[in-house]
Amino acid sequence: MNKKTIWITGGSTGIGKALAIKFANEGWNVAISARREQLLEEISNNYENISSFPLDVTNKSNCNEVFNQIINKFQNIDICFFSTGTWDPKKEKDIDVEQIENVFKVNFFGTLNSIKAVEEYFKNKKDGTITIVSSIAGYRGLPNSTGYGPSKSALNNLAESLYFDFGRSNVRVCLVSPGFIKTPMTDKNDFKMPFLKTPEYAAEKIYDGLVNKNSFEIHFPKSLTMILKILSFLPNKIYFGLIGKLTKYQKK
């Protein structure tokens, strides 16, 4: 029996790295991509069934090239896990148009470029899973999130749209909404992060959701995400009031 294969972008650190190791330990072929080639090589050198495929997701042709390299090596891709992301809290407190454009270029369009690269393959194959990694920040607007939150909200909407489009070809589209996970990206945060979890915790939840379950959204930890889901349904006035108190936001 041939091993199954997963392609993970954002695979050099954080959730992507932890998930790559989890799938490798479960016997899968794992293709990891990111811009930092040295970090990818370090991971692949330590795991026989993890292979490095450096990639800049903002480059459309590069996405196509890397996809073809992975297919040539493994002949098959069963799951794509697209988790490239960027976040700079210091630049999110004011409207920095250039920064917001960059965040969307990486978070939204980088993910879109990756999906486009595999679209024809999966629709012809009529099987498999495309996973879009969003965030709890995409549920509703939050203070000091002029680029990151909107980019994740856009990914939520994209995932829902693609759920129908790929569903016609029997391809599963899955949305992953992590809470606060200790990664190099969240290490930049200067506020207390409730229910902070490890990348390994996230990897276990994601593996279970992708392999053993079939729901549209994988969100964790439930102790945080369920609260935010309930808040997201509240009328604007109540939502703004509660979030304002929780984040100590005050009108000037």
Note the pLDDT tens digit of each residue in 196-239.
Answer: 889 999 999 999 999 999 999 999 999 899 998 998 899 999 98
Per-residue confidence (pLDDT) for residue 251, from 0 to 100:
54
Q: Tens digit of pLDDT for each residue in 109-152?
A: 999 999 999 999 999 999 999 999 999 999 998 877 889 999 99
| CA dihedral for 176, 67, 71, 84, sign (positive or negative) | negative
How many Å apart are CA 150 and CA 145, to the nearest integer?
A: 8
Q: Is 215 exposed, middle or buried (0-12, 13-18, 19+ CB in 10 A)?
A: exposed
What the block records as the tokens of 101 is: 């454009």
Instruction: Considering only residues 1 and 54, tell me which one the structure prediction assigns the higher pLDDT.
Output: 54
Q: Average pLDDT, whole number, for the chain?
A: 91
Mean pLDDT value of segment 2-19: 94
pLDDT band at 249 (very low <50, low <70, confident <90, very high): low
The β-bridge partners of 220 are 178
Q: Is the pLDDT of residue 184 over 90?
A: no
> Could you tell me what percent of the chain has a pLDDT over 90?
75
Q: End-to-end alpha-carbon separation of the chain, Å?
A: 64
What the block records as the tokens of 156 is: 């939520």
HSE on the CB side for 249, CA within 13 Å?
A: 14
pLDDT band at 181 (very low <50, low <70, confident <90, very high): confident
Which domains are seen in the chain, by residue range? Answer: 5-227 (3.40.50.720)
Q: Is the pLDDT of residue 7 over 80?
A: yes
Mean pLDDT value of segment 57-74: 98
How many Å apart are CA 184 and CA 188, to the nearest integer?
A: 7
pLDDT band at 252 (very low <50, low <70, confident <90, very high): very low
What the block records as the tokens of 69 is: 């390299």
Q: Tens digit of pLDDT for each residue in 18-50?
A: 999 999 999 999 999 999 999 999 999 999 999
How many Å apart are CA 48 and CA 224, to the nearest integer?
A: 36
